[in-house]
Amino acid sequence: MWYPIAEDLLYKHLPVIVNAWYPGEQGGTAVAEVLFGDYNPAGRLPLTYYKFLEELPPFDDYDITKGRTYQYFKKDVLYPFGYGLSYTTFKYSNLEVTDAGKTVNVSFTLKNTGKRAGDEVAQVYVKLPEVAGGMQAIKQLKGFRRIALKAGESRDYG
């Protein structure tokens, strides 16, 4: 059974929450390596952490257009779908979006502006043109790429 995650009360009273999901036999080691900075994480959330359960449609209402997923939810959230952390920082520049008929091409430059190597997950979200008579998604993930860069390294993609 699936339950939405909304933990505003916890975040008001706790300085840190570690959600390791189901990490398997080496999960303890993996979590420790991330927490102590021995491994630089780059994973992204496969779901949204909502602020309040009351802002979501009833559990038995499966109509996603009422705000059930990141694609249709219009309010502020704690952590959005696709969110993730790293021990380094990245800068996007030279973003270009070109219409190629039925496809759209995206190109950009990515630079690791931090002091250690790390991976960034570049994500492309789109909003499709309005369609008469239907609820249109606010955004949809249409592409992503995990990119490894050394400290100070810069690369073009597209």
| Across 98-124, average pLDDT | 95
Say if residue 125's pLDDT is above 90. Answer: yes
Positive or negative, the Cα torsion across 32, 116, 144, 82? positive
Residue 95 in contact with residue 105, Cβ under 8 Å?
no
Mean pLDDT, the chain, rounded, equals 90
Contact 124, 142 (CB under 8 A): yes
pLDDT digits (tens, 9 = 90+) for 27-86: 999 999 999 999 999 999 998 988 888 888 888 888 888 888 999 999 999 889 999 999
54 and 101 in a single domain? The answer is no
The beta strands (E) that lie in 14-132 are given as 49-50, 77-79, 90-100, 103-112, 118-126
pLDDT at 5: 67
Higher pLDDT, 118 or 69: 118
Helix (H, G, I), strand (E, B) or coil at 148: strand
Closest CA to 117 of 88, 154, 92, 157: 88
**Domain limits at 140?**
87-158
Single out the residue in 47, 63, 85 at which a domain terminates: 85
Together in a domain, 106 and 63: no
Structure tokens at 10: 């916890």
User: For the chain, what is the largest distance between any 2 Cα atoms, rounded to a whole number of angstroms?
Assistant: 52
Residue among 155, 138, 148 at smallest CA distance from 75: 138
Region 88-117: mean pLDDT is 96
Are residues 66 and 104 part of one domain? Answer: no
Main-chain phi, psi angles of 79, to 5 degrees: -140, 120
Q: Which two tokens stand for residue 107?
A: 């190109």
Same domain, 72 and 36: yes
Question: Domain boundary residue among 62, 85, 108?
Answer: 85
pLDDT average, residue stretch 81-106: 94
Q: Are residues 6 and 58 in the same domain?
A: yes
Model confidence, pTM? 0.85
Q: Are residues 72 and 93 in the same domain?
A: no
pLDDT band at 21 (very low <50, low <70, confident <90, very high): confident
Higher-pLDDT residue of 18, 2? 18
Q: How confident is the model at residue 1 (pLDDT cuts 50, 70, 90)?
A: very low
Per-residue pLDDT at 135: 79
Give the CATH number, domain containing residue 158.
Answer: 2.60.40.10
Question: 97, 151, 101, 149: which is closest to 124 by C-alpha?
Answer: 97
pLDDT of residue 38: 97
- List of residues 6+ apart from 131 with CB closer than 8 A: none
Rounded CA separation 149/151 (Å): 7
Taking a C-beta distance cutoff of 8 angstroms, is the pair 76, 124 a contact? no
Residue 126 has pLDDT above 60, yes or no: yes
